[in-house]
Structure 1
Amino acid sequence: MNNEWITRVTPTVPRPGPLHGLTMALKDNIDLAGVPTTAGDPRNSRPAQRNAFVVDQLIAAGAVPLGKTNLDQYATGLVGTRSPYGACHSVFSDRHISGGSSSGSAVAVATGQVDFALGTDTAGSGRVPAAFNRIVGIKPSRGLVSARGVVPACRSLDCVTVMARTVATARAAYDVMVAYDPHDAWSRRAADLSRHRAVSGAVIGVPDVGLELEPLHEAAWQETLTEAHRLGEVVKVDVRPLLEAADLLYSGPWLAERWLAFGDRLDDDPAVDPTVRTIVRGGAALTAASAFAGFDRLATLARASEDLWTRVDAVLLPVTPGHPTLAEVEADPIGVNSRLGRFTNMVNLLDLCAIAFPGTDRADGLPFGIQLLAPAGHDLELIGLAARWRGESVPASALDSEILLAVAGAHLSGQPLNDQLVRRGARLAFTARTAASYRMFLVDGPRPGLTRTPAGGPVHDGPGIEVEVWRLPPAELGGFAATVDPPLAIGPLELSDGEQVLGFVCTADAADPARDITAAGGWRAYLAGS
Structure 2
Amino acid sequence: MNLFLFDDDTVPLPPVTTSQAVQRALSVFDALSRGLGPAPPVRLRCREDVLVDAKAVDERVRAGQRMPLVGVLVAAPDQPVVVGRLMQAGAVVAGHTVPGAPSPGTEVRLETLSKLDALLVTEPPAACRGVVGFVPTRGLLPASGAGITTVLARDAAVAQQVAAAVTGPDPWAGAAAFSRHWPESVRLSAGEHPHVAVPDRAFLAGLPPAEAARLAATAETLRVAGAVTDEVDFGGGDGLCRRRVAFALRDHDALLLPQGTGLCSLTRLVTRLDTAAVLLPVRDGGGVGLLTKPFDDQIVLDLAGLLTGSQAPSPYPDVGVRLIAFGSFLRGQPRAAELERVGARFTGFATTSRHYRLVLFEEDPPEAGVVPTNVPAEGGPLLGEEWLLSPAALGEFVAGLPAPMRLGTVELADGTTAPAILCDPAVAEHGTDLTAWECWRAYLRHLSAVRPAVVRAGS
Q: Normalised by the size of structure 2, how large is the TM-score?
A: 0.54
SS of the counterpart of 2:86? helix
The superposition leaves residues 57-90 of structure 1 with CA deviations (integer Å, 9 ceiling, x where unpaired) of: 11221222222345657x7x522xxxxxxxxxxx
Match of 1:345 in 2: 268
Question: Cα distance 1:358–1:246, how it changes in 2: closer, same or farther (>3 A)?
Answer: farther
- Length, aligned pairs only: 307
Match of 1:113 in 2: 115
Match of 2:70 in 1: 20
Match of 1:387 in 2: 305
Q: What code does the residue aligned with 2:230 have? A: K
The structural deviation recorded for 1:119 is 1.0
- Structure 2 residue ranges without an equivalent (≥5): 1-34, 61-66, 325-338, 345-359, 368-386, 392-405, 412-417, 429-459
Contact 1:206 1:235 in 2 (8 A): yes
CA distance in 2, matches of 1:168, 1:197: 15
CA distance in 1, matches of 2:421, 2:219: 42
The structural deviation recorded for 1:163 is 0.8
Q: What code does the residue aligned with 1:308 have? A: D
Write out aligned runs for 1:278-317 (5 A). 302=246, 304-309=247-252, 313-317=253-257
Match of 1:134 in 2: 130
Q: Normalised by the size of structure 1, how large is the TM-score?
A: 0.48
Match of 1:368 in 2: 286
Match of 2:104 in 1: 78
CA distance in 1, matches of 2:291, 2:297: 9
SS of the counterpart of 1:132? strand
CA distance in 2, matches of 1:173, 1:237: 33
Question: Cα distance 1:196–1:241, how it changes in 2: closer, same or farther (>3 A)?
Answer: farther
Question: Cα distance 1:454–1:194, how it changes in 2: closer, same or farther (>3 A)?
Answer: same
Q: 1:166 aligns with which of 155, 171, 195?
A: 155
The structural deviation recorded for 1:162 is 0.8
- Greater share of residues in strand: 2
SS of the counterpart of 1:162? strand
Aligned-CA RMSD value? 4.4
The answer on 1:146 being equivalent to 2:142 is: yes
Instruction: State the percentage of identical aligned residues.
Output: 25
CA distance in 1, matches of 2:141, 2:271: 13
Q: 2:424 aligns with which of 507, 512, 516?
A: 507
Question: Cα distance 1:228–1:110, how it changes in 2: closer, same or farther (>3 A)?
Answer: farther
Question: Cα distance 1:172–1:6, how it changes in 2: closer, same or farther (>3 A)?
Answer: closer
The structural deviation recorded for 1:489 is 2.7
Q: What code does the residue aligned with 1:220 have? A: R
Match of 2:451 in 1: none
CA distance in 2, matches of 1:429, 1:186: 32
CA distance in 2, matches of 1:207, 1:178: 32
CA distance in 1, matches of 2:185, 2:319: 20
Write out aligned runs for 1:255-270 (5 A). none
Write out aligned runs for 1:479-518 (5 A). 489-490=408-409, 502-503=419-420, 507=424, 509=426
The structural deviation recorded for 1:169 is 1.8
SS of the counterpart of 2:104? coil
- Structure 1 residue ranges without an equivalent (≥5): 33-50, 80-97, 100-105, 153-157, 249-297, 321-336, 362-366, 407-427, 434-451, 460-467, 473-486, 493-500, 512-530
Question: Cα distance 1:394–1:344, how it changes in 2: closer, same or farther (>3 A)?
Answer: same
CA distance in 2, matches of 1:349, 1:193: 24
Contact 1:197 1:430 in 2 (8 A): no
SS of the counterpart of 1:240? coil
CA distance in 1, matches of 2:254, 2:189: 13
Question: Cα distance 1:192–1:159, how it changes in 2: closer, same or farther (>3 A)?
Answer: farther
Contact 1:245 1:301 in 2 (8 A): no
